[in-house]
Amino acid sequence: MHTWLKSLGALIFFYWWIEQIHAQTSSYRHYIVQLADKNDSPYSLTQPEQYLSSRALERRQRYNIPIDELDLPVNPHYLAQIAQTGVRLGYASKWLNTVCIETDDSMALAAVRALPFVVSAQPIAARKKTRSSEPKLPHSTSSWSSDTYGLAWHQLHMLHGHVLHQAGYRGRDIHIALMDAGWYNTPYLDVFDSLFAYQKVLGTWNFVDGNDSVYIRSTHGTSVLSTISAFLPNVMTGTAPEASVYLFLTEDVYSEYPIEEHNWAVAAERADSLGADIISSSLGYSLFDDPAFDYSYADMNGQTALSSRAASIAATRGMIVCSSAGNSGLDPWHYITAPADADGILTVGATDSTATITAFSSRGPTADGRIKPDVVALGIKTRVIDPALQDPSLNGTNSITYRGSGTSFSNPIVAGLVACLWQKHRHLPPPVILDAIRRSASRSFAPDDSFGFGVPNFAVADLILSGQAPASLQLNQPLLYPNPFSTSFGILSYDTAAFDMNMEIYDITGRKIYAAEFSLAAGFNYLPVHALQTAANGPYLLRLQRAGHVQLLRLIKQSTRH
């Protein structure tokens, strides 16, 4: 071989070797590829059954939501050409029109970037680090009282969710998709026996590892799920014990990178295509392991963060998205975290048991001035199941703890009751449901950036949706309805502070036939009264007394005409 050929060969090898070193020593291995379009796709808007389930299509039809280009899957021809460069394909997001790839080869990455339909290919995550009895049905319970909920009674009662439960609305036929970091040991805890025995877990997927294993790694999802799905009478009952769930593991507990947001987006798309009704997410993103990816407060506009963009789109698909506000109230960040800034969703902050805002609950507003959080619920000393603990009084089978502090737990408490409310008013679209929840809340007339609209009252939200509440809820005095009534009636009131009230009912002769005392919270209160179910038809007088102030209200009972 000629000397100059040997020199050229050595030079080529040298540059190849340098390139290999550069590729292998890059701190990034995962990239997000933004695609330009969905042109020449084999999928069609006229045949949505190719990529949406019948349940998803029924939801679109019910709420008159058209199929559009966002629903089309990522063009498979584009994915095939990307794969031909030698990179490993990850999950593709049809809503964001992106695909994650994995590669150590800078030349392959350059080849991806050179494809005509690729807009960009940016890092999204670093290299992976080395990791050293027959159950009861919820609706079979003969009497739903405070004892049914065990230690979880107060967190339900604060939101008047028991009124929906007692009326038989406990989330049946509603499908909730949960995004979290893992549901460690969930199948082996008896508070979840009915969930598994009656096949209420509709599906699972681990978007971090690419398999269906989700009962691993983190207890966080287990605790979150318990606020919704637990059912062990006199021990713990969640807010939607009859709802069905999908469990999607999107969060990598070993690191914090935007790839987890991309997982979130893909999981939301899968929830949509499967026909899920509600997404409940107790995850939040603002700061990452690599500061280069950090969001600024200006990014909290619902249109910048990957997860927020996906949540906003999910809200347009006929689903209700419930998101934790975040736990950054005491941090320099201070504000809500993505996807809590998304438009059209319900963002939930945290209070203590007296409905006082917690210091850690993230504050609003969004960067573009929208009120966040929307509502608040119990988020400190929340009663949750923690399988990492053992409680001898419960024979070691359950571990109820008071340590459930964070908007991670206030959010699913609300999400479960959203399921119950929507079960009753299935014909109404998500914006109407969410508007009623906000209007029912304790600070609905003066929302702020800590409480949002306040503590929601799901009994009042039900009245609003049923057309039984007055058009204006700025009540000067308690309202009785229905009035006249046939079997029972209710008392709706609104006050700016908590108070105790005495109620007495007198018949036409002036004889007192009923008396009771109630402790009412600030905001709306709705008291159903069943004391006159067997009483004779005719007029009655209702006497309400609080803080020395007495109100007399006339009430009429009459038979229902058939």
Mark whether 90 and 185 lie in a shared domain.
Answer: no
In a domain, 472, yes or no: no
In a domain, 1, yes or no: no
pLDDT at 24: 43
Mark whether 49 and 163 lie in a shared domain.
Answer: no
Q: How far apart are CA 382 and CA 371, in angstroms?
A: 25
Measured in whole angstroms, how far is the alpha carbon of residue 478 from the centre of its chain? 33
Mark whether 372 and 497 lie in a shared domain.
Answer: no
The structure's pTM equals 0.86
Mark whether 202 and 121 lie in a shared domain.
Answer: no
* Span 215-265, pLDDT tens digits: 998 999 999 999 999 999 888 999 999 999 999 999 999 999 999 999 999
Mark whether 106 and 156 lie in a shared domain.
Answer: no
In the predicted structure, residue 15 carries a pLDDT above the cut 80? no
Measured in whole angstroms, how far is the alpha carbon of residue 222 from the centre of its chain? 15
Choosing from 437, 466, 495, the residue where a domain stops is: 466
Least confident window among 27-41, 177-191, 340-354, 463-477: 463-477
Mark whether 280 and 393 lie in a shared domain.
Answer: yes
φ, ψ for residue 361, nearest 5 deg: -60, 125
In a domain, 137, yes or no: no
Mark whether 459 and 491 lie in a shared domain.
Answer: no
Q: 391 vs 315, which has greater pLDDT?
A: 315
Domain that holds residue 499: 479-557
How many CB atoms are closer than 10 A to CB 167?
14
Q: What is the CATH number of the domain that holds 530?
A: 2.60.40.2550
How many CB atoms are closer than 10 A to CB 264?
29
* Span 273-330, pLDDT tens digits: 999 999 999 999 999 999 999 999 999 999 999 999 999 999 999 999 999 999 999 9
441: exposed, middle or buried (C-beta count within 10 Å: 0-12, 13-18, 19+)? buried
Mark whether 308 and 415 lie in a shared domain.
Answer: yes
Quote the tokens at residue 260: 């987890």
In the predicted structure, residue 5 carries a pLDDT above the cut 60? no
Mark whether 74 and 191 lie in a shared domain.
Answer: no
Mark whether 355 and 391 lie in a shared domain.
Answer: yes
| Total structural domains within the chain | 3
Average pLDDT of the residues of the chain: 89
In a domain, 474, yes or no: no
In a domain, 365, yes or no: yes
Choosing from 74, 93, 126, the residue where a domain stops is: 126
In a domain, 136, yes or no: no
In a domain, 133, yes or no: no
Strand blocks (E) in 278-408: 278-281, 320-324, 346-351, 375-378, 382-385, 400-404
pLDDT at 137: 65
φ, ψ for residue 200, nearest 5 deg: -85, -10
Choosing from 443, 466, 489, the residue where a domain stops is: 466
Q: What is the CATH number of the domain that holds 216?
A: 3.40.50.200
Report long-range pairs for 479-482 (Cβ below 8 Å, ≥24 apart).
480/542, 480/553, 480/555
Mark whether 81 and 214 lie in a shared domain.
Answer: no
Share of the chain above pLDDT 70, in %: 89
Mark whether 461 and 521 lie in a shared domain.
Answer: no
Q: What is the CATH number of the domain that holds 61?
A: 3.30.70
In a domain, 422, yes or no: yes
Are 120 and 33 in contact by the 8 Å Cβ rule? The answer is yes
* Edge-to-edge strands, sheet with 499-506: 512-520, 499-506, 538-546, 549-557
Strand blocks (E) in 210-345: 231-232, 236-237, 244-249, 278-281, 320-324
